[in-house]
Amino acid sequence: MKRRKLVAVGFVALAALVFAIAAGGVSGANKAKSITIWLQTDAQAANWAPIVAAANAQFQKDTGATANVQYQSWGTHLQKFDATLAGGNTPDVIEMGNTEMTKYMAAGAFQDLTADKGTFDNSSTWLAGLAASGRYNGHLYGVPYYAGSRVVTYRTDLFKKAGIKVPTSLAQFTTDGQALLKKFGKKGFSPVYIAGTDWYFAMSFVFDYGGSIASRVSGKWKGALDTKKSIAGLTAYKNFFNAVSRASKTTDEAHPNPYDVYAQGLAGSIVGPAWYSCCVGKQYTAVTGQFTVPSHVKGQVMPGFLGGSDLAVPVGANKSLGEAWIRAYTSNASEKALEGIGNIPNTTSLFDNSKINERAAARSWFVPTAKNWVNVENENILRNMLAEILTNKLTVKQAAQAASDNIASILNAS
Amino acid sequence: MISAAARRRRSGRQAAWNVLGIAVLVVMVFPVYWMVSTAFKPDNEINSSTPTWFPTDATLSHFREAIAGVDHPFFWNAVENTLIIVGITVALSMVLAFLAAVALAKYRFTGRKLFVVLMIGIQMLPQTGLVIPLYVVLRNYGLTKNEYVLFGVILTYMTFVLPFSVWTLRGFLLGIPRDLEEAAMVDGSSRLGAFVRILLPLVAPGLVATSVFAFVTSWNEYIFANVLLLDQSKQTVTVWLSYFTGTSRHTDWGALMAASTVIAVPVMLFFLLVQRKMRFGLTAGAVKG
Amino acid sequence: MTSFPAEPSITAEPGVSRARRRLTWARVGRASVPYLLILPVLAAVGTILGYPLYNLVTLSFQRYGLFELIQHSGHWIGTSNYGSILHDSVFWHTLLRTVIFTIANVGLTMVLGTAMALLLVQVSAWLRVALTVGLVLVWSVPAVVAVQIWYWMTNFQNGVLNYVLGAGEHDWYATTFSQLSIVTALIVWAAIPFVTITVYAGLAQVPAELVDAASIDGAGSVRIFRDVTFPILKPILLILTSLSIIWDFGVFTQPYLLIGKEHLNSSNYLMGVYVYIKGYAEADFGRGAAISILMLLIVAILSVFYVRKMVRMEAVE
């Protein structure tokens, strides 16, 4: 009958389509053993990709297996990781930002690599600040991969015209900034472009004055932004910002990116990762230099936020092959190559004093290693505090007090 | 007879409406114009504080970088994957939704109201909460393996496209006069056969309209595609696009705008192709429903 | 409705029993047709959404964080998740903010979309085509791309908006009201094409004779719109308004990307963003599920008017 024929045709068409897709999608099923690596897209860049390729080749030589590298986006890789943790098919190696590690280590997302620590190159001279992010409860879960520090990228021609030299103290940096403002202060020009809510930079002041964000006292977290020293640091930041930055007081360091501002000729200098010199605009590359952020104490480097990544092996993954790949990618040769393209390698044994980012890493600070720290970042507690301070909505003391209490309650939440 | 004065008044009125229309057109289309023109501007114009209204120094370098650059691999894979996913989703959804809409519009059966409520209820679900359980479900069905993952995504998209499609097609069908079906039935054909033979051509514009909505929804979808398509070679264009701003390093605005322009082209073409039909389709269904 | 031949009475002779049996099977076959027709849709939706829905409901009564996710098992805590959410002032502020936001967005979308449809009727034919093509161009830009363009246009460093308004370096993302206004502008801009084209099609249905008759009677254009046009447009406007409510209440992509995760905090959350951050970014999946269920209930209440009309349309047949 016509009706039944129609319905039958419909279902057959459906089935045919299903098979068509399935058949069309089957690739060469006969594969040798293969592992999946999740690296961030930073490693996909033209100057970085060869290092990854070399590691893959080394890995294949060592184990006979192939490495399938899938590049990830910073904004979405954790959501994807959560899905694979729930449903299976976790990658065999995953790159994690150093601030992302603690939460996942505490939840048991990674395999314990402590026993094999000695098999990784330079493990005895790993950069302390970075290596700490891969340890939890005395066990090793993440192998340090690379680090980044913050330096000042500046216009040598503008400095020359204003008759100023590289400053060696914060006070000198401030007067230098004001000299630049006097000479070049047109609309939108910042002697030192700092985004108002750039907490990575602002907290450097806090640590420079001897304060901190939070500390662990008998098992419980206590906020430390409301201590005298922290408040002194925050006040110094406020004064510095008001003196030398014309950026919006509520904007962050991603909107816009400081090097975009620099490329427009609207910044005498910017503070940020050392690799900024790549992206400051064709017309200014020749007149760009860098120096370390000076402390309020003359001659010292202000402690800088040590960014970076670790490599971990998730649960459910192939541990021996995963470790083998990490071994190849963090080998001495590989780390040396990473250093060559502007990163800080994971070992002090490769440190070269001529490299400014490594000099800057001599004094560094890190976020509290609490499993809930990521929530403090997600709720933008520090950014809001800085915005309130800079817009004078609250006094430094009030804003710091509120933030401190907030941070403590979040860190102590179970 | 219209006097010369009245004619002048009328054309004056017309001119006024046209001026307003042009102003509205300029304002609405401006962001799209900005996207396309930025794709052609050299870097210094993009960054400058004074906007360049028309790219006289047009360059194709951003397009080259976006599509063929080392930093942005898998563009053609993404296009292919998206076309497969969207094409099959729309085709299958139209067939299934049409059948279900016929049932809702032309038959009385118990559970009819419940089914309608279900179709509406699904549209109210907040999608964020469904992402991880959906991944788990598809993995249990084996649909996250590279060979079958596109089919997994197609099934997922269908579950969000079907409710709206069933709903809309039902509206179109309700608007078609009964006598046409009755006439066909007198010939002795079965009821369903009559429906399909008579209704299909009448509801074709409605099908086109609904397929356009289905196309947009699937094309723009990002949340599920991002999590379900783990392998870069299987990703869709919206996920591919997200990599432009996903790095902690340099964001190439020119390349991003070029990429966005290229991605919008197939959609615009599809629309321009069907837009005339669509106006008829929406007429037939929406009012009478 | 076509009726089948009357069923032979029960007291008929045995001679007609075979005919009766054939009729009964035929009836069952015919009665099963609608169910067979909706079966594929139910199957497709059920196999994909069945488990996730069940999962969402059961998770909302459990304590389920990242640790539990990895272990694949959680702890039953009854209504604690719901309790803590309903006691959280951030939830209520966000809900209020989202309701106001939804009203503003839906109102602007419907008013501007309808107005533009009316404009389409009035302009010359060539401009009508140009406008339709323009609207279609706007409609075809994916949300992620639209956000990038709008951010680019409104950024305080070199955004076109500041330049055109002569506003110097005004930061449009400095206050909550300003942020949500830009997000509203973006969402309304992207939603207008759909509304305009649909309403315009509906306007084409208004019988010219009725309009002429009314204007001969001396009615002004406003009266004509109110008495002739609007009643015919009502069903479309109803459908569009309700869809807009559902979509705008749970919107996530535009506020999350345009305001940026660096700028999002408890003073500018919308429900879509709130459920993402509190439930998923912070990896408290039990709480995320509870918020999702609450959102579903709230949006159902907000659109119950439409749901009832939909279901009633069935019965009118």
Q: Kindly state whether residues C54 and C143 are assigned to the same domain.
A: no
Question: CA-CA distances (angstroms) from residue C25 to A363, B226, C1, C31, C80?
Answer: 87, 50, 20, 10, 54
C156 in the same domain as C53: no
Question: How many helices (H) and strands (E) in chain C?
Answer: 15, 2
Exposure letters C132-161 (e unless 16+ CB within 10 A, then b): bebbbbbbbbbbbbbbbbbbbbbbbbbbbb
- Is the same domain home to C203 and C304? yes
To the question of pTM greater than 0.90 for the whole model, the response is no
Note whether C164 and C69 are same-domain residues.
no
Residue where one domain finishes, among candidates C76, C108, C125: C76
Q: State whether B203 and B154 are in the same domain.
A: yes
Degrees to nearest 5, angle at CA C117 with C114 and C121: 140
Per-residue pLDDT tens over the stretch B46-73: 777 677 788 888 888 888 888 887 778 8
Q: Are residues A252 and A382 part of one domain?
A: yes
Asked if B279's CB is within 8 angstroms of C204's CB, the reply is yes
**A51 shares its domain with A124:** yes
Residue C3 falls inside a structural domain: no
B23 and chain C in contact, CB less than 8 A: no
Both tokens assigned to B162: 């079907």
B133 and B180 assigned to the same domain: yes
**Residue B200, in any domain of the structure:** yes
Residue C7: inside a domain: no
Question: Which chain B residues in 168-207 lie under 8 Å from chain A, judged by CB atoms?
Answer: 189-193, 196
The answer to whether the Cβ–Cβ distance between C66 and A82 falls below 8 Å is: yes
Q: How many domains does chain C have?
A: 2
pLDDT tier at B280, thresholds 50, 70, 90? very low
User: Over 90: is that where the pLDDT of A314 sits?
Assistant: yes
- pLDDT over 90, % of chain C: 38
Residue C209, in any domain of the structure: yes
pLDDT at C142: 79
Structural domains in chain B (count): 2
- Tell whether the model's pLDDT for residue B106 goes beyond 80: no
pLDDT bin (cut points 50, 70, 90) of residue B190 is: low
For residue A54, the domain's CATH number is: 3.40.190.10
List, for residues A222-242, the tens digit of each pLDDT value.
999 999 999 999 999 999 999
Kindly identify which residue of chain C lies nearest to residue A261, measuring between CA atoms: C157
> Are residues C104 and C88 part of one domain?
yes
C241 touches C110 (CB < 8 A): yes
Domain membership of residue A320 (yes or no) is yes
- Model pLDDT, residue A113: 95
Are C110 and C191 contacting, i.e. CB atoms less than 8 angstroms apart?
A: no
Is A277 in the same domain as A131? no
Same domain as B47, residue B91? no
Domain membership flag for residue C4: no
> Which CA distances in Å does B257 have to A129, A184, B61?
39, 33, 12
CB atoms within 10 A of CB C106: 23
**Residue A6: pLDDT over 60:** no
Residue A256, preceding peptide bond in cis (omega within 30° of 0): yes
Interchain contact, A70 vs B232, CB within 8 Å: yes
Residue A302: pLDDT over 80? yes
A277 and A244 fall within a common domain: yes
| pLDDT(A22) > 70 | no
Tell whether C210 and C295 lie within a shared domain: yes
Same domain, A244 and A344: no
C5, part of any domain = no
Number of domains in chain A: 2
Output C73-77 pairs: Cβ under 8 A, ≥24 positions apart. C74/C286, C77/C286
pLDDT beyond 80 at C205: no
Q: Does the structure show a pLDDT above 80 at A29?
A: no
C193 in the same domain as C232: yes
Angle value at C-alpha A200, between A197 and A203, nearest 5 degrees = 90
Most confident range, picked from A41-45, A170-174, B213-217, C200-204:
A170-174
Question: Is B32 found in the same domain as B173?
Answer: no
Residue C70 with chain A: CB contacts under 8 Å: 85, 107-109, 315
Q: Which residue of A has its CA nearest to C260?
A: A255
Q: Classify residue C178: in a domain, yes or no.
A: yes
In a domain, A157, yes or no: yes
Nearest CA in chain B to C157: B49
C-alpha B224, offset from chain centre:
16
Domain identity same for A188 and A263: yes
DSSP letter at B130 equals G
User: Are residues C54 and C93 located together in one domain of the fold?
Assistant: no
A150–C contact, CB cutoff 8 A: no
Q: Do A163 and A284 have their domain in common?
A: yes
- Domain boundary among the residues C76, C104, C121 is at C76
Domain check: are C87 and C102 in the same one?
yes
Residue A24: the pLDDT is: 43
**Which of the four pLDDT bands, split at 50, 70 and 90, describes residue A28?**
very low
Nearest to A87 among B139, B196, B250 (CB): B139
The answer to which of A315-319, B262-266, C101-105 has the lowest mean pLDDT is B262-266
Side chain identity, residue B241: L
Residues of chain C with C-beta less than 8 angstroms from the C-beta of B45:
none
Checking if the pLDDT of A163 tops 60, the result is yes
Query: Residue B261 sits in which domain range?
Result: 71-286
Q: Is B37 found in the same domain as B87?
A: no
CA distance B139 to chain A (A): 6
Is residue C241 in some structural domain?
A: yes
Task: Say yes or no: B116 and B150 in one domain.
Answer: yes
All residues of chain B having their beta carbon less than 8 Å from the beta carbon of residue A10 are 95, 99
Q: Is residue B65 part of a domain?
A: no
Q: Is residue A11 part of a domain?
A: no
Q: What's the mean pLDDT in A368-394?
A: 91
Domain boundary among C60, C76, C92: C76
How much is the average pLDDT of C215-244? 78
* A355 contacts A336 by C-beta, under 8 angstroms: no
* CB-based contact C282:A375 (threshold 8 Å): yes
Residues B96 and B201 in one domain: yes
Residue numbers of the domain that contains C45: 16-76
Question: Which pairing describes strands A214-217 and A304-305: parallel, antiparallel, or unpaired?
Answer: unpaired
Q: CA-CA distance, A202 to A396, in Å (whole number)? A: 13
Q: How far is CA A388 from the centre of its chain?
A: 25
Q: Is residue A334 domain-shared with residue A397, that is, in the same domain? A: no
Q: Based on the fold, state whether residues C36 and C156 are members of the same structural domain.
A: no
Which class for B12: exposed (0-12), middle (13-18), buried (19 or more C-beta within 10 A)? exposed
Considering only CB atoms, which chain C residues are within 8 Å of A379? Answer: 265-266, 277
Nearest to C38 among B22, B103, B282 (CB): B103
Residues 6+ apart with CB under 8 A from A11: C40
Mean pLDDT of chain C: 83
Quote the minimal CA–CA distance from A56 to chain C in Å: 29
Using the CB atoms, write b or e for B16-55: b if 16+ within 10 Å: ebeeebeebbeebbbbbebbbbbbbbebebbbebebeeeb
Domain that holds residue A116: 35-149+307-365
- State whether B126 and B43 are in the same domain: no
AA identity, residue C301: I
- DSSP annotation of A288: E
pLDDT attached to residue A260: 82
pLDDT tens, residue by residue, A325-336? 999 999 999 999
Strands (E), chain C: 62-63, 75-76
Nearest to A402 by CA among C265, C110, C146: C265
CATH number, domain containing residue C246: 1.10.3720.10
Q: Is residue A380 part of a domain?
A: yes
Domain presence at residue C29: yes
- Give mean pLDDT, residues B180-194: 61
CB atoms under 10 Å from CB of B7, counted, come to: 10
Looking at residue B244, which CATH number applies to its domain? 1.10.3720.10
| Domain closes at, from A365, A385, A404 | A365
Q: Is the C-alpha dihedral spanning A250, A252, A255, A260 positive or negative?
A: positive
Interface of B with C in 88-147 (CB under 8 A): 96-97, 99-100, 102-105, 107, 109, 112-113, 115-118, 120-134, 136-138, 141
pLDDT for residue C241 is more than 90: no
Looking at the structure, do residues B239 and B96 belong to the same domain, yes or no? yes
Do A271 and A233 belong to one domain?
Answer: yes
DSSP line for C147-192: HHHHHHHH-TTT-HHHHHHT-TT--TTSSHHHHHHHHHHHHHHHHH
Q: Is the pLDDT of residue B284 over 50?
A: no
Same domain for B143 and B164, yes or no, is yes
Contacts A–B by Cβ distance under 8 A: 123
Kindly state whether residue B66 falls inside one of the protein's structural domains. no
pLDDT in tens, C146-172: 888 898 888 877 778 888 887 777 778
The whole-number pLDDT of residue C1 equals: 38
Average pLDDT over residues A370-377: 90
* Phi, psi angles (nearest 5°) of residue C86: -70, -20
- The residue from B35, B59, B83 where one domain ends is B59
CA C312 to chain centre: 20
Q: Which of A81, A85, A378, A384 would you mutate first to test chain C, the one with the most C CBs within 10 A?
A: A378
Q: Which residue of A has its CA nearest to B193?
A: A3
Summarised one tens digit per residue, pLDDT across range A181-222 is: 988 888 778 999 999 999 999 999 999 999 999 998 888 999
Percent with pLDDT over 70 in chain A: 92
- B:156-215 residues touching chain C, CB 8 A cutoff: 156, 158-159, 162-163, 166-167, 171, 174, 182, 185, 191-192
Same domain as C194, residue C71 = no
Tokens of B152: 């997994």
Interface residue A248 vs chain C (CB under 8 A):
yes
Planar angle of CA A153, A159, A162, nearest 5 degrees: 155
**Does any domain span residue A22?**
no
Residues B87, B111: one domain? yes
B144 vs A96: which has the higher pLDDT: A96
Predicted pLDDT at A406: 93
Instruction: Note the pLDDT of residue C7.
Output: 39
Whether the pLDDT of residue A389 is over 90: the answer is: yes
Are residues C33 and C178 both part of a single domain? no
Q: Which residue of C has its CA nearest to B242?
A: C144
Tell me what pLDDT residue C10 has: 44
Residues A137 and A209 reside in one and the same domain: no
**Dihedral sign from CA coordinates of A218, A219, A222, A228:** positive
B64 assigned to some structural domain: no
Does B76 lie in the same domain as B109? yes
B-C Cβ pairs (cutoff 8 Å, strict): 270
Identify whether A267 is part of a domain. Answer: yes
Please give the pLDDT value at position A282: 78
Q: Quick one: pLDDT at residue A272?
A: 87
